[in-house]
Chains A and B, each alone.
Chain A
């Protein structure tokens, strides 16, 4: 199957979706912005008040005269603190709420993507969007958004305040802007690709370590220690080198900003000198201007550094919107029939490489059919087509109703065991859960878990064996209770002892259902009503186990090779 990554939205589309998400919170957005403007403006009264102190002293006023501006400074500080708290809380509320709606829409949409599309993209694509991209945006909303709001407003309003002192101060301060503008552009251009490489290198190092440490036993058994140590060293060195390149870049960035700082500061001081000399400004005003400019250093640096975060958050957002924007696939429209009727079925994952040819198969209501054949014979494809995961390229499949499927994919949903089971039937009672577990012979171990059915399992929780995990999968199928069950090598991940436990559990799971079981252990095939043998995408034999075993065909020789017992000897199972 060729790779085809999930789409990424255009910038325009990303903006549109973002605005759409913000629309219900317009009042909040406007309110937050207004309060931040007020908070920042109040803070800007500090420098003129300090200037007033200087002027009062310069005018030779008595020491008591400065009490008034000092008290004003205290009032400014307290009001600024209060309004800043409110403003930041509002801005965060907006950001976090929109983020929550965004991730909910993403997960809602991702869950309904056709499995085929997800698999074509590779399982990592969707996972990395929901983990990496969502947390990147979350971090930006949590840290960068309030910082940006504060710094951005501080810069704009400080420049405005400089202009109010005298427009010539603003002009002097703007000398720094071309240097900063150029520096920021250069930084973003260079940093973006470098940080992307850093993330790749970090991921590669992490993955190599997981490979080496997770497979340590294998590494030792095959004496691959030197090879693996060298691989880790190489990846770690690459990551270190790239980090150092990033550090150098940031440091050069700051060096250039220092140039801008000096140029602007000198210009403002010279402007102050000229204006004080010509009587256009007081010393206090010149002091306030210099202090204003000095206080710009921190927010300018913050804002410029955040450009990078904002850019990566934007890219992450485009990847989320790309999925959100996927059209809802048309429902799989399959004819209803009292039994499974497959006729003229053909399929190919890649054009020109058919894996199924003209398959006809009927499975009676309540019949249990085993699919047997070599890998690549088309068993899994047939099973998946019947389960409705793929659309057949040719032919028709009629089914009696919903089809449930359990494959060899082992996954336990993180959280209490009972919650995991309830995914299959949200309104199931505890008694229902126990009954389902009993039927797959899992209640005994489930009840001996530290907190019984309330035990947290899955990632970060209590570890279950591959057999136990598959028992849970079967219990979920029982709870979902579909009329048709498809089981694709559901015993494959368990060892040979587990396989036997699972075979028994499968038998009780499919009771009362029409079932198609892809089997690789032939005892499992022997226990079904009918065995269908596939080869090269075609059905080559079909009949009950005993009939096929004595017919001298493919299945018979397969059985002989598998059991290691001559066909004419007594069947050891009897």
Chain B
């Protein structure tokens, strides 16, 4: 966590230092404005001295130019450091998630990981801005303190002790309020969540005529939420009121002490005006400190989340061997046990089309993770052309063996981009040419975020086309046609062999249409291979198979 934070800051040290120095100059300038107002009143207005007025107004102008430019370029450097650090962390996270050895997504939802890559990265980056602001605020306080103490030691001490005390009191009084307010905000946010949820489920609601029930339910939620928000708003109003009252009382105290000093001639009128101005000014940088503290706390929490993802253990160990060249595409499983699999022995010849029908879908999933090496079997080995998969570099393995999951995701972009270029044969074999025909824009039509603008059946066909187009030596497809209508499924089955000729293909499915075109089908039952024969033979001779596939 510390390492992540430190890297985020040290990586941008030039901008952070520039920002801090210029920020300090700006704060010093802001201190000078009330001081100069006092001086102008003192030397110009009170004495009726025109040249003095002109002189000090010029000084005020110079101060304004300096404070304005130093703020502009200082804040720019700070923000740039924040944004760049956030970007760097974001990319580190993406690279970790996409690491061929996997493991980063384990136990984390995509939404949560995305949030880490956006919000958490941003918050850690923003620590740069906080560092810069904290340094500037400190500079402002020091300059103000020096000026105040030079005016008058007792008055200076009143202001310097009073301002933190004021903020501390404000903090103390508002802390319970803040807590209450945060809780209420959460409940208030609930209403908008419920509304979005109901809208997302609009089709479902309309399907059962539940619109009225939904609206009634939303009214209740919205009412609850309003009550919570109003409590929070009252708490916030009270907090603001308290701060206003405390600040006013503080000014009165400064006026009292300063006025007495001025009346006794210890300080001038202008110095009294400056002191009041500085007392008001000091609230600013001290508030920055409180804010920076909160930012740091958030930054630390975010950095911890990022560090946890970056350090997530890999799902598999990286092997070092290269894949055999040229690949023949034979697979052999020897006594493979993994999750639900109990000692599976299986040989797949190069160029064979093998069907795998699993009675328990969990067996199919376990087999797929061993073949695609998203996990290593707990015992036994999987070999490609006689080389154990565990010895191979996982990235290199995936260039030879492709496991196309049942729920494989499509990506935002055109159909062509999703399939990976022009592959008319693969498109036709998967029935995705029809999808292109139905899509506005054809093959260059957009499929929407995660392919959401396509129907389930269309998505599956595009995903299958992509798997065929990748043209790997070994292709393992899992339930590729569950959302496809029977007419299209039959057509896909009839073309599959042709497009995969001479390359090894494993169809893990219970669809009879697909299993019928396999050279051989193995039946997985209770974690073991219990039978193997062509589909037609299994249908006639194996009752378990018949139930699994045709019932």
Contact = CB atoms under 8 A, between A and B. Distances in A.
Interface stretch (B148-156, B422-430, B488-496, B497-505): B488-496
A232 interface: yes
A425 B214 CA distance: 11
Interface of B is mostly: helix
Contacts of A78: 245, 248-249
A96 B229 contact: yes
B449 A211 contact: yes
Instruction: Report, as a range, how many residues of chain B touch the other chain.
Output: 35 or more
Interface string B50-92: 1001000100110010011101100110011001101100110
Most buried by A among B243, B273, B484: B273
B199 A376 contact: no
A495 B91 contact: no
Interface in A210-226: 210-223, 225
A272 interface: yes
B241 A81 contact: yes
Contact of B213 (A100, A229, A376, A423): A423
A567 interface: no
Interface in B361-414: 361, 372, 374, 394-395, 398-399, 402-406, 408-412
A561 interface: yes
A126 interface: yes
A158 interface: no
Nearest to A422: B213
Nearest to B406: A495
Interface string B182-222: 00000010011111111111111111111101111111001
A406 B511 CA distance: 24
Contacts, number: 498
A20 B245 CA distance: 36
B193 A215 contact: no
A66 B255 contact: yes
A523 B546 CA distance: 13
Contacts of A294: 33-34, 37, 277
A123 B199 CA distance: 9
A413 interface: yes
A56 B259 contact: yes
Contact of A252 (B60, B72, B273): B72
B218 A205 contact: no
A255 B68 contact: yes
Contacts of B203: 115, 407, 409, 411
- The A interface is mostly helix, strand or loop, or mixed, namely helix
A565 B226 contact: no
Interface stretch (A127-135, A168-176, A541-549): A127-135
B83 A240 contact: yes
A229 B405 contact: no
B479 A495 contact: yes
Interface in A386-440: 387, 389, 402, 404-409, 411, 413-415, 419, 422-426
Contacts of B360: 497
A423 B251 contact: no
A121 to B, nearest CB: 12
Given A57-B259, A269-B53, A562-B490, A423 B412 contact: no
A54 B269 contact: yes
A261 interface: yes
A223 B401 CA distance: 11
A62 B263 contact: yes
B76 A248 contact: yes
Interface string B228-243: 0110011011101111
A247 B466 CA distance: 43
Contacts of A374: 485, 487-488
A572 interface: yes
A213 B105 contact: yes
Interface residues of A, number: 169
Given A130-B192, A496-B482, A244 B79 contact: yes
Interface string B98-115: 101010110000110110
Nearest to B111: A210
B251 A561 contact: no
Most buried by B among A213, A251, A459, A572: A213
B300 interface: no
B361 A497 contact: yes
B169 interface: no
B408 A218 contact: yes
A460 B197 CA distance: 11
Contact of A493 (B41, B60, B219, B456): B456
A89 B72 contact: no
Contact of B244 (A81, A252, A387, A521): A81
Contacts of B114: 206, 209-210, 213-214
A222 B470 contact: yes
A82 interface: yes
Interface stretch (B1-9, B320-328, B512-520): B512-520
B210 to A, nearest CB: 4
Given A88-B241, A272-B45, A100 B225 contact: yes
A270 to B, nearest CB: 7
A217 B405 contact: yes
* A62, A374, A477, A479 — most chain B CB neighbours (10 Å): A374
A273 B214 CA distance: 69
For A261, A372, A413, the residue with the greatest tally of chain B CB atoms inside 10 Å of its CB is: A413
B550 A92 contact: no
Most buried by A among B67, B241, B273, B450: B241
Given A65-B263, A71-B252, A221-B372, 4 more contacts: A213-B94, A220-B102, A407-B204, A561-B513
- Counting from the closest, the 9 A-B pairs by CB-CB distance are A77-B248, A564-B516, A81-B245, A85-B241, A215-B409, A561-B490, A92-B233, A88-B237, A214-B110
